[in-house]
Structure 1
Amino acid sequence: MEVKILCLVLLCVTVLSYIYAPIPDNIEEIWKVKAVDSVAKTCAFMATLFEYIGLMKYEDIFLTLSSLHLTKPVSDENITVIDTKFSDIPVCLYLPKKKSEILRPAIIFIHGGAFVLGSCKAAAYDDLNRWTANKLDAVVVGIDYRLAPQYPFPAAFEDCVSVIKFFLQEKVLAKYRVDPTRICIMGDSSGGTLTATVTQLLQNDPKFKGRIKAQALIYPGLQSLDTSLPSHREYAHGPILSREMTIKLACLYVTEDKALPQAILKNEHMPEESRHLFKFVNWSDFLPEKYKKNHVYTEPVLGKLKASYPALLDSRLSPLLASDSQLQSLPLTYILTCEHDPLRDDGLIYISRLRNVGVQVTHDHIEEGVHGALSFTRGPVFLDLGLKLRDKYITWLEENL
């Protein structure tokens, strides 16, 4: 009993210490964000501790929490929700019930979760997809791709490609009465990564070129070469998403070897032969001046990690590695970034590179925004910010799809 009481006291002290940790003043609904931030940091602390003592793997706590928010495919008065498979990959379809005289647009939704967590059936994503289908009178396809570490790179990418190619077949589009000229791929966080990589592949494939009208990326992570961008430094401790948590989870998509996240945290993970790739992610060339602030660019230490991870050089993991000629063919693009987000600068660099090669980009930057806000649009923690992000994205779709 004394041990249990001691553990409870330690847990309470940990939570309180995180609640009263400093957070930027201009964040909307700051006390709600503080609460979410404290829970995230406490989970990360417990995950590190439990893994150290051999009780469970680092990701298991997060997997348990995320599983609590899964929903079942329940239809409502406006939307029919169907669980099915496309090319043997589970998908969740959202189909408007009202009859339409014209063919409908379609949105292909790719969820976030650092390639390790999440599902398109998570409650907040289910709400988003229902809202999208109903508001736009659109067909929505949510992809439940395979997750790491059980299915490492490039499993998630390959699943998304398989589903989208299946959906783009004429007979499938006809079955769901989808307009083949009005299809958008959308994703948040690591789902934004997958959206970018899949869109690059399809637009540079002669068979599928021009089949995707638009892509939408919500606070995406777009590169793993340099983990010391200004936003990585400024928001290394969050709020909500910390640099260490992101790296520990996302590395599982590449390997379970602990040497990689340790090297990435020091920015010493890239091999010598990657030197020519840094021109694509050099923030000193692509970030707007206001985001450079007083930061000084220093090239990561190359060749220190002895193990070899080819995925780190692959544009299917880091879409910012695509050349300018590969980016030129990309469709209409929407990118939403949040100020208080360690991944902020990935999106800002991509915007600069796309605009430099003539891609039409709409950019919404939320000054009071935090990473993951779109996942907090229903209880137990409800953020108005999440609805603000959703409405900006939906408005763009209404105007452009």
Structure 2
Amino acid sequence: MSVERERVVTAFSLCVYLMYASTAANSAMDPYKALNIILNPNGTLTRLSIPPQSPPSPDPSLPTLVLSKDVSVNKSKQTWARIYLPRKALDYPPNSKLPLIVFYHGGGFIFYSAASTYFHDFCVSLANNTQSVVVSLEYRLAPEHRLPAAYQDSLEVLHWIKNSNDPWLRHADYSRCYLMGESAGGNIAYIAGLRAAAEVNQIKPLQIKALILIQPFFGGTKRTPSEIRLAEDHTIPLPITDLMWNLSLPVGVDRDYKYSNPTIKGGAKILNRIKLLGWRVAVFGCEGDPLVDRERDLVKLLHYKGVHVVRQFYQGFRHGIFVGDPTMSIKVFNLVKTLHS
């Protein structure tokens, strides 16, 4: 089965699961049961359903377009990264470098892994279609590790790349670095960008050129029109998103905290520096996603701050479409290629 076909099958399976989950959530109002998770007395989760996982493919003798391997980032935190290298890079001269994309997977901060087939297949296609080196981070999940743990990991991996002697990373052009994430990963990519902007000298020779936010997961205490309109959405109904925030935000804060609501108090002051650095921010969204108004509000904030924003919003569709549907993934890949030029 081809990679593209596998992604369609995986996405279909995910949609079936989430449709079941949302039906259960909206009828019984029990998001724990809908997500098939149990909150333990010590604050950890028992995750009764594990999404399909894919092993890396590091052997260059196998007929794969993209090689992949897992490397440790921080053993004490058990964080690691899966590196994706287009096979063609092995034949390039030493001075021929590929763009570097640091990817953060989605899952509401509480689910999924860099090894999850859903995101592994996307990263394979991303590396192949854009001819980039991709580093996909396995960050710590909530509620075992509430935010800002994932943000700390997201910045730490940049320092790790900077100091790494991994031979695959020698193919990466550190002067063309992009931070990308989908859903909760889009939220992480945004916060990672804010934090990296405050440490541009410390992460050199990495030079970030753009943040690519694919349907980023943001929230707030006041419901938006799209959240109200799509309250019983089949992918991420409100009981599910509310629970994800409750399990991931620091104890005692609400959804208007800076981690979940990027527009609160006029937005982060560091955005002024992102403007001066000339970074671009690309935001993908669609009208069938309950989060779309949150994403539009972020775009408005960035415009107001003078940040160079590239926005791509589409009619219809659902949350997760840009990873789950290869025909929509191409729109992300094409945008990445324009940023390379």
Q: TM bucket by the smaller chain?
A: 0.7 to 0.9
Identity in percent: 22
Partner-residue secondary structure (3-state), 1:370 = coil
Cα offset for 1:43? Answer: 5.1
Give the match's secondary structure for 1:186: strand
Distance 1:32 1:145, change over 3 A: closer
Question: Which aligned segments of 4 or more residues in structure 1 are displaced greater than 4 angstroms?
Answer: 31-37, 49-52, 58-61, 170-175, 311-314
Match of 1:360 among 303, 308, 317: 308
CA contact (8 A) 2:31 2:239 kept: no
Q: How many residues align?
A: 305
1:218 counterpart = 2:157:
no
1:220 alignment partner AA: P
Residue equivalent to 1:328:
272
CA distance in 1, matches of 2:199, 2:328: 32
Q: Residue 77 of structure 1 corresponds to which residue in structure 2? A: 64
* 2:329 is the alignment partner of 1:346: no
Q: CA deviation at 1:35?
A: 5.0
What residue number does 2:30 align with? 48
Q: Say yes or no: does 1:38 pair with 2:22.
A: no
| TM-score, normalised via structure 2 length | 0.79
Residues 283, 295 of structure 2: 8 Å contact kept: yes
Tell me the SS of whatever aligns to 2:232.
coil
1:237 to 232, 236, 245: 232
Q: Structure 1 residue 50: deviation in Å?
A: 7.2
- Contact in 2 for aligned 1:95/1:133 (Cα 8 Å): yes
Give a deviation string over 1:372-392, Cα, whole Å, max 9, x none: 22453xxxxxxxxx2232111
How far the C-alpha of 1:40 sits from its partner, in A, is: 2.6
Aligned equivalents of 1:93 and 1:217: distance in 2?
20
TM-score (norm 1): 0.68
Deviates more, 1:82-91 or 1:139-148: 82-91
> 2:6 maps to which residue?
none
1:124-163 matched pairs, under 5 angstroms = 124-163=118-157
Distance 2:302 2:18 in 1: 33
Contact 1:51 1:57 (C-alpha < 8 Å) held by counterparts: no
1:140-219 matched pairs, under 5 angstroms: 140-169=134-163, 175-207=169-201, 208=203, 211-219=207-215
Contact 1:109 1:185 in 2 (8 A): yes
**Which consecutive residues of structure 1, in runs of 5 or more, have no partner in the other structure?**
1-30, 257-307, 377-385
Matched position secondary structure for 1:365:
strand
Task: Specify the alignment match of 2:85 in structure 1.
Answer: 95
Change (3 A) 1:245 1:335: same
**Aligned in 2, Cα 1:42/1:69: closer, same or farther, shift over 3 Å?**
farther
Q: 2-side partners of 1:193 and 1:251: how far apart? A: 16
Deviation string, structure 1 residues 315-357 (Cα, Å, up to 9, x no partner) = 3444334746421333111110110111111110111111122
Deviation at 1:68, TM superposition (A): 3.3
5+ unaligned residues in a row in structure 2: which ranges? 1-11
Matched letter for residue 119 of structure 1: S
- 1:154-203 CA distances to partner (integer Å, 9 max, x unpaired)? 11111111112211348569843211221111001111110000101111
Pair 1:363–1:38, CA change in 2 (3 A): same
Cα distance in 1 for residues equivalent to 2:151 and 2:83:
20
Q: Check 1:350–1:255 CA distance in 2 against 1; reply closer, same or farther (3 A cut).
A: closer
Which residue identity does 1:399 align to in structure 2? T
8 Å CA contact retained: 1:80, 1:94: yes
Aligned mates of 1:38, 1:354 — CA distance in 2: 33
Distance apart, 1:114 and its partner CA? 0.8
Alignment of 1:188-337 (within 5 A): 188-207=182-201, 208=203, 211-222=207-218, 224-254=219-249, 308-309=252-253, 315-321=258-264, 323=267, 325-330=269-274, 331-337=279-285
| Cross-structure match for 1:268 | none
- 1:229 CA displacement: 1.2
User: Structure 1 residues 194, 32: CA separation in 2 closer, same or farther (over 3 Å shift)?
Assistant: closer
Cα deviation per residue 1:203-239 (whole Å; 9 max; x = unaligned)?
Answer: 13242488211111011123x4334111111111113
Q: Any idea what the Cα deviations from partners look like across 1:78-117, whole Å, max 9, x if unmatched?
A: 2221111123321111112222231111111101111101
Q: What corresponds to 1:399 in structure 2?
A: 338
Counterpart contact for 1:193–1:319, Cα < 8 Å: no
Q: 1:250 to 1:228 in 2, by over 3 A?
A: same
Counterpart for residue 388 of structure 1 = 327
Take 2:31 and 2:263, find their aligned partners in 1: how far apart are those partners?
A: 34
- Letter paired with 1:159: D
Contact 2:45 2:144 in 1 (8 A): no
* Residue 34 of structure 1, CA deviation: 8.3
Cα 1:36/1:147, change in 2 over 3 Å: closer
Counterpart amino acid of 2:263?
L
Q: Is the 8 A contact 2:51 2:112 kept in 1?
A: no
Aligned amino acid, residue 229 of structure 2: E
Report the residue type matching 1:367 in the other structure.
Q
For the aligned residue pairs, the C-alpha RMSD in angstroms reads 3.1
> Retained in 2: the 8 A contact 1:149–1:255?
no
